[in-house]
Amino acid sequence: MQPIPSDILIHFEAVLKKRAVPVSRHADYRKRLRYYLDFRGKNTLPDSKSEHVRLFLLYRMGHVIMNGVVWKNQDLLIGKKSSAI
């Protein structure tokens, strides 16, 4: 996993401070940001930023995104698209 670019990290930490996130939780938030940036770097995503976040959350819940199609892990094993997503 790549480190967070310094310009993004500076802005991100300013937002955490502005929203009064306890300093003890900052490492967790940075870790989640790194997961998200890693996810974006590895996947071709639609233009919509809200769709990026939706797909990331599905990915973190155990779904797989291939060629813009969301699969549940168990469906991937038998080759069925997830109809609920």
Q: Any idea where the domains of the chain sit in the sequence?
A: 1-42, 46-85
pLDDT of residue 61 exceeding 90, the answer is no
**Three-class SS string for the chain?**
CCCCCHHHHHHHHHHHHHCCCCHHHHHHHHHHHHHHHHHHHHCCCCCCHHHHHHHHHHHHCCEEEECCEEEEHHHHHHCCCCCCC
pLDDT class for 76, splitting at 50, 70, 90?
Answer: very low
Compute the average pLDDT of residues 70-78: 52
Residue-wise pLDDT tens digits, 5-54: 999 999 999 999 999 999 999 999 999 899 888 888 887 777 777 777 77
Q: What is the pLDDT of residue 26?
A: 93
